[in-house]
Homo-oligomer: A and B are copies of this chain.
Amino acid sequence: MPTLRVPVIENIMSANDQMASQNRSQLDANRVYGINIMASPGAGKTSVILQTIRALTGQLKFAVVEGDTAPVTIDADKVIAAGMPAVQINTGGDCHLDAVMLKNGLAQLPLSDVDLVIVENVGNLVCPAAFSLGTHANVLVASIPEGDDKPYKYPAIYRGLDVLIINKIDLKPYIDFKMDYFRQGVEMLNPGLVIFEVSCRTGEGIEAWSNWLLQQVKKSG
């Protein structure tokens, strides 16, 4: 008589990770590079997106997925005004995007005619770090007014990054922000992380960031 055995499944993926994996497959099948932009509220995610579109229009075809906790289309309207297709995902108060939400967003985009999908996550330095979306790169927009202690206080999000943008460097003269201390914290959590210092207000540093992004998209295609 055969022994009754309880099946043991190792390395089972969470439901979110499974869906993230499907999102990645869908992006890859369409030769689309996807980035997930995270930040605390007001660090400048939308401004970075608009500057990136400005810098790379003519070189890449974009689409944008806007995550918001409320049914306001302030950010999506700005992207559409910049001439790019955008869909808005209202999380209904939830504090992060998850892979299912992104799947629904991707379904509304003309992926076969797009090179780069930019996902703007909900403004939050904690929760988005725990939900992979299936994009190719996690981007954090930090900003000078938030203070130089953020990597020490919100380590999880820094650990999972592929690239860091430090925005609002035009405000450095007016704020006590120790760049060495900030970068030391980042290096401790994520050694060798690619970092760009930019000002969406003045345009400083946007070219370097955009060129790096363009290279990533080309390499993946």
Residue ranges of A at the interface with B (Cβ–Cβ < 8 Å): 40-42, 68-70, 72, 74, 93-95, 122-127, 130, 143, 145-147, 149-150, 152-156, 168, 170-171, 174-175
Contact = CB atoms under 8 A, between A and B. Distances in A.
Contact of A42 (B68, B94, B145, B174): B145
Contacts of A175: 171
B155 A70 contact: yes
10 contacts: A40-B42, A41-B150, A42-B150, A68-B153, A72-B152, A93-B126, A94-B126, A124-B124, A124-B126, A127-B127
Contact of A74 (B69, B145, B152): B152
A127 B122 CA distance: 12
Q: Which of A126, A127, A168, A174 has the most chain B CB within a 10 Å cutoff? A: A126
- How many copies altogether? 2
Contacts of A94: 126
A152 to B, nearest CB: 5
Contact of A145 (B127, B130, B150, B171): B171
Contact of A154 (B123, B145, B150, B154): B123
B145 A168 contact: yes
A74 to B, nearest CB: 5
Nearest to A91: B126
A70 B145 contact: no
Nearest to A127: B95
Nearest to A94: B126
Given A123-B153, A145-B171, A170-B174, 5 more contacts: A40-B42, A41-B154, A69-B126, A70-B156, A171-B175
A145 B72 CA distance: 20
A112 to B, nearest CB: 32
Contacts of A123: 40, 125-126, 153-154
Contacts of A153: 41, 68-70, 72, 74, 123
A94 B130 CA distance: 10
Contacts of A152: 70, 72, 74
